[in-house]
């Protein structure tokens, strides 16, 4: 058994001492999947890093113990801990692009893990690495084993990370958002692989995720975290059928689907409070819709509210009078404008070809067609979802339209924006086009300059593309942006590395919105976000679309998000669009076998909450 007993983790920050984890207790048995869920910034990933003794330089364990079969891992010398880390406990990190070594081939990184923790060496270790690449769904593993990470898509890099973590066949797996960057078919394949390993080797899994549908299908038990504390623990079936904490109930109501399409999602107001402050009462009280008078001054304890069900809430231990609050006003969102007139964006026969390095004894150039003759139209005020498997060309299409691949690839076809071909623009005309077309990148960490504060990141686009704004107007715009995307205003003076993955994604969204574009290419804009923040962002995107007539090219693998936000959908496979049409028709009655298989792999969560 892997046990956490009263774990306390502290971080030194400019604002003060951050108590990232405050007295956590949980136990994970062999063969069990224990899910840790909660908002971005609540301490989920910090828990995983503390278990592996991989805290950042400014972090330390201030108290408690982590025991593996009774042995305290926090007391082991680093030499012995290296044998445990990777051999007995492995970890899938949240951001593969920052976890993979950019100057090592992916095969060498898998072989390194195999040789460090198993008897296999040389050719045998390489054969095992190829086998693992195949098991996690990498096409042509014999060829891709020699690739560097930059040649792989975000989803493929995530699969390589999973292969490294599983290659030594550990006893316990800490999976920090293991399927965030994966499409639904590969996600189903990875989850099936983890289930098979659980059956074969009694693998214990600590699953850290914001995908509640994955949790409902994988987890035996669920722990909900908020602001460094566990606030509810329950068997998975009971958690989804009868959530007790107000935060859990609100999370389940924030899930997007087709049924909620005409109304804003039930987003939770506010953000997770900063953990450097002293808390006098319940940490969720300022955002709680059932808060009572004494919640602000009485800290709740984690109490038993049923067999194996614990909750940290005064509603059960000290009920009282609810605070007065304004009644919620449900408003109906307008439907998308009908398709009429000239499209805002008209893509015709788009091809993106990457040239490959030719081996010494091979004649002729080699190339790879990432996008092979696709076409679609997008009207102002509408949303087109581009879905498909990882590596099918979705992101490449978006980057080509946003004019970000001019030097890396050979692009042909047309992308007509208000009648002007984007591929023929240059100089000042291209600069003006960038003012109207922005992109939200899939990987927020890689797309934010680590040497720039958030204020500088957001202001950079305003200075370049909105020169008519003075310094005071730019500052007001920055403050409005962080408010819109659910960040505190003190975030403007912080650095990207000080934020969690979901918080960095909100910064990236704010940057795209800064110059008030007309078309936004959204490349997995909510993949790194937890459910409550995802609801905030989807509500924001819908509201901006209604007010400003924005058009979205929405690249995603989350079908629930597609059902909620998309008007039209195009399904890609191997660089081609295989099915296209109105969202309700394609998702309700798919005609292509590939689309049918894609939808069959979608995990579903059907719950009824009070």
Domain with CATH 3.40.50.300 in the chain: 2-249, 347-356+364-600
Kind of pairing between the strands at 345-356 and 366-378: antiparallel
What pLDDT shows up at residue 68?
A: 93
Which residue, among 146, 122, 120, 123, has the nearest Cα to 133 in the 3D structure?
146
pLDDT in tens, 549-608: 899 999 988 888 899 999 999 999 989 999 999 999 999 899 999 999 888 888 877 554
- Sorting pLDDT into bands at 50, 70 and 90, what band is 453? very high
pLDDT surpassing 60 at residue 610:
no
pLDDT in tens, 267-289: 787 778 888 888 999 999 998 98
pLDDT surpassing 70 at residue 474:
yes
- Sorting pLDDT into bands at 50, 70 and 90, what band is 200? confident
pLDDT in tens, 429-438: 888 888 899 9
Q: Judge whether 95 and 445 are in contact, CB under 8 Å.
A: yes
Q: Which residues contact 453 (CB under 8 A, 6 or more apart)?
A: 492, 493, 494, 495
Q: Which letter does DSSP use for residue 423 in this model?
A: G
pLDDT surpassing 70 at residue 361:
no
Neighbouring CB atoms inside 10 A of 98's CB total 14
Determine the average pLDDT of the residues in 99-117: 93
Which residue, among 72, 69, 94, 92, has the nearest Cα to 81 in the 3D structure?
72
What pLDDT shows up at residue 501?
A: 67
Determine the average pLDDT of the residues in 500-521: 86
Please report how the helices 122-135 and 106-117 are oriented relative to each other, as an axis angle in degrees rounded to 10.
120
pLDDT in tens, 4-51: 999 999 999 887 888 999 989 999 999 999 999 988 778 888 999 999
pLDDT surpassing 90 at residue 366:
no
Kind of pairing between the strands at 310-311 and 229-235: antiparallel
What pLDDT shows up at residue 439?
A: 93
Q: What is the CATH number of domain 2-249?
A: 3.40.50.300
What pLDDT shows up at residue 119?
A: 93
- Sorting pLDDT into bands at 50, 70 and 90, what band is 109? very high
Dihedral Cα 374, 379, 381, 386, nearest 10 deg: -10
- Sorting pLDDT into bands at 50, 70 and 90, what band is 609? very low
Nearest-angstrom CA–CA distance, 313 and 221:
19
- Sorting pLDDT into bands at 50, 70 and 90, what band is 259? confident
Q: Which residues contact 579 (CB under 8 A, 6 or more apart)?
A: 570, 571, 586, 590, 591, 592, 594, 595
What pLDDT shows up at residue 608?
A: 46
Q: Which residues contact 160 (CB under 8 A, 6 or more apart)?
A: 96, 100, 106, 109, 110, 133, 136, 138, 149, 152
Q: Is 160 helix (H, G, I), strand (E, B) or coil?
A: helix
CATH superfamily of the 347-356+364-600 domain: P-loop containing nucleotide triphosphate hydrolases (3.40.50.300)
What pLDDT shows up at residue 131?
A: 94
Q: Which helix (H) or strand (E) holds 194?
A: helix 184-201
pLDDT surpassing 90 at residue 207:
yes
Q: Is 43 helix (H, G, I), strand (E, B) or coil?
A: coil
Nearest-angstrom CA–CA distance, 338 and 133:
45
Residue count (the chain): 610
The answer to which of 202-216, 352-366, 372-386, 516-530 has the lowest mean pLDDT is: 352-366
Which residue, among 88, 55, 48, 50, has the nearest Cα to 177 in the 3D structure?
48
| C-alpha of 158 from chain center | 12
Buried b (16+ CB within 10 A) or exposed e, 420-459: eebbebeeeeeeebbebbbbbbbbbbebbeeeebbbebbb
Mean pLDDT of the chain: 87
Q: Judge whether 288 and 247 are in contact, CB under 8 Å.
A: yes
What pLDDT shows up at residue 362?
A: 61
- Sorting pLDDT into bands at 50, 70 and 90, what band is 262? confident
The answer to which of 172-176, 232-236, 309-313, 545-549 has the lowest mean pLDDT is: 545-549
pLDDT surpassing 90 at residue 487:
no
Q: Which helix (H) or strand (E) holds 230?
A: strand 229-235
Question: Quick one: what percent of the chain has pLDDT higher than 70?
Answer: 94
What pLDDT shows up at residue 261?
A: 81
Determine the average pLDDT of the residues in 165-179: 89
Determine the average pLDDT of the residues in 90-105: 87
């Amino acid at each position: 058994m892997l046990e956490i007993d009263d774990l306390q983790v502290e971080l030194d920050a400019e604002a003060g001492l951050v108590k990232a984890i405050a007295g956590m207790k949980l136990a994970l048995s062999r063969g069990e999947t224990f899910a840790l869920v909660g908002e971005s910034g609540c301490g989920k990933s910090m828990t995983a890093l503390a278990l592996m003794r991989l805290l950042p330089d400014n972090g330390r364990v201030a108290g408690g113990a982590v025991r593996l079969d009774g042995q305290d891992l926090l007391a082991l010398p680093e030499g012995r801990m290296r044998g445990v880390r990777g051999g007995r406990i492995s970890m899938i990190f949240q951001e593969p692009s920052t976890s993979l070594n950019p100057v090592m081939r992916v095969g060498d990184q898998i072989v390194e893990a195999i040789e460090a923790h198993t008897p296999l060496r040389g050719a045998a270790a390489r054969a095992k690495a190829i086998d693992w690449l195949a098991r996690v769904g990498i096409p042509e593993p014999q060829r891709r084993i020699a690739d560097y990470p930059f040649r792989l898509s975000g989803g493929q890099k995530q699969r390589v990370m999973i292969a490294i973590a599983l290659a030594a066949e550990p006893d316990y797996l800490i999976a920090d958002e293991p399927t965030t960057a994966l499409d639904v078919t590969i996600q189903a394949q990875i989850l099936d692989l983890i289930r098979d390993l659980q059956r074969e080797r009694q693998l214990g899994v600590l699953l850290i995720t914001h995908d509640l549908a994955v949790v409902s299908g994988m987890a035996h038990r669920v722990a909900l975290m908020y602001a460094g504390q566990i606030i509810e623990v329950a068997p998975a079936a009971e958690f989804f059928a009868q959530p007790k904490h107000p935060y859990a109930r609100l999370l389940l109501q924030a899930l997007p689907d087709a049924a909620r399409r005409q109304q804003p999602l039930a987003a939770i107001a506010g953000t997770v409070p900063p953990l450097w402050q002293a808390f006098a009462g319940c940490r969720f009280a300022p955002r709680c819709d059932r808060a009572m008078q004494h919640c602000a001054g009485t800290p709740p304890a984690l109490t038993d509210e049923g067999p194996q069900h614990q909750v940290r809430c005064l509603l059960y231990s000290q009920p009282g009078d609810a605070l007065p609050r304004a009644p919620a006003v449900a408003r109906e969102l307008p439907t998308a404008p009908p398709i009429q007139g000239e499209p805002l964006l008209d893509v015709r026969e788009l091809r993106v070809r990457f040239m490959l390095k030719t081996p010494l004894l091979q004649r002729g150039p080699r190339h790879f067609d990432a996008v092979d003759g696709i076409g679609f139209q997008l009207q102002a005020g509408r949303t087109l979802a581009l879905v498909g498997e990882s590596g099918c060309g979705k992101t490449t299409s978006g980057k080509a339209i946003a004019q970000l691949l001019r030097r890396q690839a050979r692009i042909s076809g047309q992308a007509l924006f208000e009648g002007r071909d984007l591929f023929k623009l240059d100089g000042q005309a291209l600069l003006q086009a960038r003012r109207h077309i922005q992109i939200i990148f899939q990987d927020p960490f890689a797309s934010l300059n680590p040497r720039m504060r958030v204020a500088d990141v957001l202001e950079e686009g305003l200075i370049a593309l909105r020169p008519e704004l003075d310094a005071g107007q730019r500052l007001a715009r920055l403050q409005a942006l962080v408010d819109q995307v659910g960040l505190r205003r003190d975030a403007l003076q912080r650095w990207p590395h000080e934020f969690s993955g979901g918080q960095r994604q909100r910064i990236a969204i704010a940057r795209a919105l800064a110059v008030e574009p007309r078309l936004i290419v959204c490349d997995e804009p909510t993949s790194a976000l937890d459910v409550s923040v995802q609801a905030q962002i989807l509500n924001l995107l819908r509201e901006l679309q209604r007010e400003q007539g924005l058009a979205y090219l929405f690249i995603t693998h989350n079908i629930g998000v597609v059902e909620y936000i998309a008007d039209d959908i195009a399904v890609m496979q191997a660089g081609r669009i295989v099915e296209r049409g109105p969202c309700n028709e394609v998702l309700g009655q798919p005609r292509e076998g590939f689309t049918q298989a894609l939808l069959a792999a979608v995990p579903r969560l059907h719950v009824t909450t009070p």
